[in-house]
């Protein structure tokens, strides 16, 4: 008998038919002789509807009260899914985040899970109940309801799988696995049978939008066997685990990120410590800096370029301009019409041909590269946003045809 944690997102439980479909998957898993713990998100647009209600009354509502409001979304889902399983004759209990033992810190709206007291859960499982748990939520030390922020249900599921020492954690979504590129963009994109945590982390942070990074980080930390699969089709998905056969495929995927902007700080005095002070400052304002390039400018000055998420661009410019005198640079420039296109694969570090193949594909497609960044398992390039789709297709073709 295995213990399996299954997580279903908002679109998988969006209406009565979808809920019955999910109940069918859960029931089959249970009937095959497994213990099943199910984590669900709020139905379809529920969270957005609740946010709209709040905004109508108070656009600056406290995060505590937003959590009180938003946590009802998952509570509705768990009750409805439990009812669907009851209708099929199964013994089932739904549990809110706090009933399932989720303790978090007090960072309302983006709380971190501190620990999970699994007593209640294990008690329900021992009575052969299917257990449905509200994702995305917990309780802080003051007994106030908290939410984990966007993507929190994935994290809830992985954390539960870790705490219960589950045999696996299945994340059901509206795609049937992780692909070598966005299948909507690249027609011959290939579904991966398996991928390593590290590769998945790079793909997730690069915009692959299948699994949230927090959940993958947690899965890696606790060695939880993850699987990403479709809630609409009954077929194997993509397994995410520690070690995968790196020989099989040289690169795991090609992704693009259209939501970054490039910032360039010009005329920085060529003295030690300037870059350190600059990024410390941005860190203080929680700006996520990526793809950093430092180069010698004119007249013994330096130039530092980096990317930031589009929605942090305004803050970044503001913070830098306010510190212009302290840091001693002459100008801040930015380009918000760039994209980051990346290839990810554990095999590429030991294979020098990968980078040249990527650059060659871009050259042949007549796409200009602004900046390059590499890591052990990733190569990213900054290009004009208008070229990003073309770039993904060109690179994917170079590696897969």
Specify burial of residue 242 (Cβ count, 10 A radius: 0-12, 13-18, 19+).
Answer: exposed
Exactly one of 3, 14, 51, 61 binds a copy of itself (CB under 8 A); that residue is: 61
* Distance of alpha carbon 103 from alpha carbon 137, whole angstroms: 9
Closest CA to 282 of 309, 255, 247: 309
12 binds a copy of itself (CB under 8 A): no
Backbone φ and ψ of 90, nearest 5°: -90, 155
Site string for a copy of itself, 19-58 (x = CB under 8 A): xx-----------------------------x--xx-xxx
Is position 84 an interface residue for a copy of itself (rule: CB under 8 A)?
yes
SS3 annotation, 305-324: EEEEEHHHHHHHHHHHHHCH
Task: Find tokens 């021992």 and name the residue.
Answer: 126
Q: Phi and psi for 221 in degrees, rounded to 5?
A: -60, -40
> Per rule CB under 8 A, is residue 395 in the interface with a copy of itself?
no
| In the complex, least distance from residue 164 CB atom to a copy of itself, rounded to whole angstroms | 18
Cα(184)–Cα(39) distance, rounded to whole angstroms?
A: 28
User: The tokens of 231 are what?
Assistant: 């809630």
Q: Are 277 and 267 in contact (CB under 8 A)?
A: no
What is the smallest separation between the CB atom of 63 and a copy of itself, expressed in angstroms?
Answer: 11
Least CB distance to a copy of itself at residue 142 (A): 9
Q: From its phi and psi, is residue 143 left (phi > 0), alpha (psi between -120 and 50) or beta? A: left
Stretches 14-22, 27-35, 170-178, 292-300: which one binds a copy of itself (CB under 8 A)? 14-22
Residue 144 or 225 with smaller CB distance to a copy of itself: 144
Q: Collapsing DSSP states into helix, strand and coil, what is residue 350?
A: helix
Shortest distance, position 115 Cβ to a copy of itself, whole Å? 18
CB of 218 to a copy of itself, least distance (A): 26
| Residue 46 near residue 12, CB atoms below 8 Å | no
Among 143, 247, 325, 401, binds a copy of itself (CB under 8 A): 143
C-beta closer to a copy of itself: residue 25 or 265: 25
CA distance 262 to 356: 24
- Please say which residue, 116 or 348, places its beta carbon nearer to a copy of itself: 116
Q: Which of 69, 319, 365, 372 binds a copy of itself (CB under 8 A)?
A: 69
Nearest distance, CB of residue 144 and a copy of itself, angstroms: 8
Do residues 273 and 220 make contact, with C-beta atoms less than 8 angstroms apart? no
The only residue of 27, 82, 201, 228 in contact with a copy of itself, by rule CB under 8 A: 82
Task: In whole angstroms, give the CA distance from residue 384 to residue 380.
Answer: 13
- Asked if 2 interacts with a copy of itself (CB under 8 A), we say no
Min. distance of Cβ 110 from a copy of itself in angstroms? 18
Minimum CB distance to a copy of itself, residue 165 (Å) = 23
Is residue 80 a contact point for a copy of itself (CB under 8 A)?
A: yes
Among 28, 32, 48, 87, binds a copy of itself (CB under 8 A): 87
Binders of a copy of itself among residues 276 to 305 (CB under 8 A) are none
- 349-356's contacts with Cβ under 8 Å and 24+ in sequence apart are 349/376, 349/377, 351/250, 354/250, 354/251, 354/379, 355/379
Segment lying near a copy of itself (by CB under 8 A), choices 15-23, 171-179, 320-328, 344-352: 15-23
Q: Which stretch binds a copy of itself (CB under 8 A): 83-91, 168-176, 277-285, 382-390?
A: 83-91
- In the chain, what is the straight-line distance between the N-terminal and C-terminal CA atoms, in Å? 43
Give residues in contact with a copy of itself (CB under 8 A).
16, 19-20, 50, 53-54, 56-58, 60-62, 64-66, 68-69, 71-72, 75-76, 78-80, 82-84, 86-87, 93-94, 96, 99, 120, 143-145
């Amino acid at each position: 008998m295995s213990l399996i944690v299954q997580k279903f997102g908002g679109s998988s439980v969006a209406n009565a038919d979808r809920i019955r479909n999910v109940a069918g998957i859960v029931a089959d898993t249970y009937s095959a002789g497994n213990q099943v713990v199910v984590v669900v998100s709020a139905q379809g647009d529920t969270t957005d509807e609740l946010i709209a209600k709040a905004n109508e009354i108070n656009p600056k509502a406290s995060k505590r009260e937003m959590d009180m409001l938003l946590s009802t979304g998952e509570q509705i889902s768990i009750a409805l899914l439990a009812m669907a399983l009851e209708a099929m004759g199964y013994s089932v209990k739904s549990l809110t985040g706090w009933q399932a033992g989720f303790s978090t810190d007090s960072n309302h709206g983006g709380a971190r899970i501190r620990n999970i007291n699994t007593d209640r859960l294990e008690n329900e499982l021992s009575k052969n109940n299917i257990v449905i748990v509200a994702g995305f939520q917990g309780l802080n030390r003051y007994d106030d309801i908290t939410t984990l922020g966007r993507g929190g249900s994935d994290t809830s599921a992985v954390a539960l799988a870790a705490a219960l020492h589950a045999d696996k954690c299945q994340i059901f979504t509206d795609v049937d696995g992780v692909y070598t590129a966005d299948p909507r963009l690249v027609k011959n994109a290939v579904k991966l049978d398996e991928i390593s945590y590290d590769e998945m982390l790079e793909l997730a942070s690069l915009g692959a939008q299948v699994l949230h990074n927090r959940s993958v980080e947690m899965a890696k930390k606790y060695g939880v066997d993850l699987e990403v699969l479709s809630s609409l089709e009954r077929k194997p998905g993509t397994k995410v685990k520690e070690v995968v056969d790196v020989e099989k495929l040289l690169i795991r995927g090609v992704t693009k990120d259209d939501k970054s902007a490039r910032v360039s700080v010009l005329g920085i005095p060529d003295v030690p410590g300037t870059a350190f002070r600059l990024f410390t400052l941005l860190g203080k304002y929680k700006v996520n800096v990526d793809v950093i390039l430092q180069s010698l400018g004119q007249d013994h000055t330096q130039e530092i370029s980096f990317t930031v998420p589009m929605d942090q661009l305004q803050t970044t410019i503001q913070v830098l301009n306010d510190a212009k005198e302290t840091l001693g640079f002459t100008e801040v420039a930015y380009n918000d019409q760039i994209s980051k296109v990346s290839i990810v694969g554990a095999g590429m570090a030991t294979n020098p041909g990968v980078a040249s193949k990527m650059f060659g594909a871009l050259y042949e497609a007549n796409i200009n590269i602004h900046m390059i960044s590499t890591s052990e398992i990733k190569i990213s390039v900054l290009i004009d946003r208008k070229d990003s789709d073309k770039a993904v297709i060109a690179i994917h073709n170079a590696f897969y045809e």
